Amino acid sequence: MSNGTAVPGALSGFRVVELGGLGPAPFAGMILADFGADVIRIDRPGAAPPIPGKRPHLLNRGRRSVALDLKSPGGHDVLMRLVDSADVLTEGFRPGVAERLGVGPDVCLGRNPGLIYGRMTGWGQEGPLAQTAGHDLNYLALSGVLGALGAPDAPPPPPLNLVGDFGGGGMLLALGIVVALVERGRSGQGQVIDAAILDGVTLLATTIVDLLAGGLYREARAQNILDGGAPFYRAYRTSDDRFMSVGAVEPQFYAALLEGLGAAAADWPQYDRERWPEQHRRFEELFAQRTLDEWNDVFAALDTCVAPVLHFTEAMEHPQIRARETYVDAFGHRQPAPAPRLGRTPGKVAGPAPAPGQHTREILAELGLGEGEVETLLEGAAVQAA
């Protein structure tokens, strides 16, 4: 992937105001910035960095930062000036907080009717849990997704915070923003996006819900094809205490799996569920006889769905990932490359993560404030410059 293209990004010309937060909303802002949007992050003066130390938070890459005290008249006024020229505003507060700060959708769309106002929460804007605290794992739990993960004799494992915060949260917020911008091109009107992680995770589970409705999914962990219940769709420990992932669902891939393991196809019919526990144990015995690298060599010669379970640092150096430039070295940090890949207007890492308030003076000048006005705001702590 080339980051040196002179072609403007697909979202070039759009301005996004991001009310600073953690997790899903910044992830949406990162995606928009990667594709050329001018994302201005509003940070709180004196806020602690999201990650201890001086290392930048990669989710904040490609932004400019203004530090504003939204509770002060001066800081609020600066934000409203930004809203007037913005295409999008995003916030990740609990329901009602933006309204109490005087920056809710009624105020903002009243000033700028074409604004896309993106709201990111865990539970949603209404309902009995709307005002309660939660994290990724809690939203997964209530959606039914967490209860479908892991071994039946152990607690469900947290799948990092990838499924909720980023898959069901920030990525769908970014999609909602782009969809709303497309619609605005027809109507000229803005609208409010209510993006809730609970909704997004439930949407991601559509196929499983479909299987359940059709009587093809058992609501018990490790009893189904995709949850580790099937011996041909799970991970197996190798002799060097590593793991190989097996996803040989289709008959031709299952046959190739048996060939690689040296197991007779007649002995192990694929969908004999009664024998799955016995088959698990046999496959465990076979995989435990060789190292990860040895199994890699075996399955490299076969067209089947088997791959090594790598650590992140190993994955960065894998030939497939290097060939695709799935990681890029940008602004002193190795980091995931923008995705998906657009053929004519590809995304790029537009800049490093800014320090809070790094661009305060620059953006205030763009808003037409004179040096005296800027100094007054700085002296009154309505704004802060890095």
Residues involved in catalysis:
135, 165
CA–CA separation, 53 vs 178, rounded Å?
34
Residue 291's nearest CA partner among 306, 278, 308 is: 308
Neighbour tally for 210: CB within 10 Å: 11
Rounded (10°) CA dihedral 351, 357, 360, 363: 40
Region for residue 238 given its phi and psi (left: phi exceeds 0; alpha: psi -120 to 50; beta: otherwise): beta
HEC-encoded secondary structure of 252-297: HHHHHHHHHHCCCHHHCCCCCHHHHHHHHHHHHHHHCCCCHHHHHH
CA–CA separation, 94 vs 78, rounded Å?
23
Residue 262's nearest CA partner among 231, 299, 291, 236 is: 299
Determine whether 65 is exposed, middle or buried from the number of CB atoms within 10 Å of its CB (0-12, 13-18, 19+): buried
